[in-house]
Amino acid sequence: MKKVIKTDKAPAAIGPYSQAIEVNGVVYTSGIIPVVPATGEIPEGSVEQAKQAFENLTNLLKEAGCSMADVVKTTVFIKEMNDFAKINEVYEKFFEADYPARSCVEVARLPKDVMLEVEAIAIKNV
């Protein structure tokens, strides 16, 4: 059975999609951008945006009954590959030693012209 996951502690969907979906104990998030949920503002700079995006992801997973330790796969979309090392420094602080599998790709443009977007797949009770 499909369950819609929704929280006001992560950016609201800005289109016809859900923040996350759970099916059989697997949580699939939509792309999460670095919008401050309470204000709708976007932090300046790639490091600050990465921190906000991963905080939003953490909050969404918590609503689903998961943590970052339950994440098995992420995809990170970045606007500038030159920011890869800086984003990696932020990324590793949000995960424990057993890092999830990951893809990271540079893209031409992201919603609201943010510098990165992240999506994840988590397994409940890993």
Active-site residue flag, 104: yes
Three-state secondary structure call for residue 118: strand
Report d(CA 22, CA 5) in Å as an integer: 7
User: Measured on CA atoms in the order 124, 70, 27, 10, is the torsion positive or negative?
Assistant: positive
Catalytic residue among 21, 104, 121, 123, which? 104
Residues taking part in catalysis: 104
